[in-house]
Copies of this chain bind each other. A is one copy, B any other.
């Protein structure tokens, strides 16, 4: 960090497992320039309180910059976090999300937490999101073309989120527990003997094809093939996680294709925001189904999301930030 650089805010992406802190400069084009990054423990791993965890993490920056506004997003705003924020109902505009931030003061600092989102599906079931809304805001702010028409964003992770954007609003979204199931089945089930085998593209494609092509609801009946294939030497034990990953992502993508909430025929390419490995795998499976994809760097999109929130806070109540 160059101490003579001007800084405007500290952005905190504080999830279950990790805290990622970004020291940022706000630019006239409504983007953030990243000056420095710092890491600390996630919400479920903090042992001596959120306040201490945060201020330890950003102490060097505070020594230079004193009272920078701090904007936080993620599980830190959940019922197990520092201050609980609401789940705002969809459809919703990015401005409304930013304007609904929870503000509080701690150690003479102004802190804001971005709220989560919820939506209702046709079957009256509700879905929730906390953390990913920031990336959606960032994606919307990235390109003027994202503000018009319908777009589908896929955010793979522990819980995949499929987000439908309509004329610049977050219309609705669906959650799939794909990553969590992968983790559970890799480490605790009879399917996998070697949870750290090397990735095998062939086994991955084979798993994806199985669930993409499978009959009605047969995921729960098909999963066991990861074991029977090993018993009959059709799948090497060290490639079983690749096959499982393919099955799970195939099932997730198939459900997205069959979702009644949107139609791929009326959408352009699916925007994928996530880590490189997962984004690549989702992209491959969507491509197997002749669906075009565009990938975005998750950190750049996250910073764009913070920029969008910061801009609204500036507009909304300049004195508070």
Closest to A226 in B: B177
Taking a contact as CB atoms under 8 Å apart, the answer to whether A177 and B159 are in contact is no
A258 and B175 alpha carbons, distance in the complex (Å): 25
Using known A-B contacts A87-B231, A215-B260, A258-B216, determine if residue A180 contacts B176 with beta carbons closer than 8 Å: no
A123 and B214 alpha carbons, distance in the complex (Å): 9
What are 25 A-B pairs at a CB distance below 8 A? A125-B222, A125-B225, A126-B234, A128-B227, A175-B221, A176-B224, A177-B224, A180-B189, A181-B220, A184-B184, A184-B185, A188-B188, A214-B217, A216-B254, A216-B258, A217-B217, A217-B251, A217-B254, A217-B255, A217-B258, A218-B255, A219-B220, A219-B251, A220-B248, A220-B252
Residue A292 at the chain B interface, CB threshold 8 Å: no
A190 — which chain B residues lie within 8 A by C-beta?
A: 180
Chain A interface extent, by class: 35 or more
Residue A239 at the chain B interface, CB threshold 8 Å: no
A residues contacting B by CB (< 8 A) are 87, 118, 123, 125-128, 159, 174-178, 180-181, 184-185, 188-191, 210-211, 213-225, 227-229, 231-232, 234, 248, 251-252, 254-256, 258-260
A216 — which chain B residues lie within 8 A by C-beta?
A: 216-217, 254-255, 258
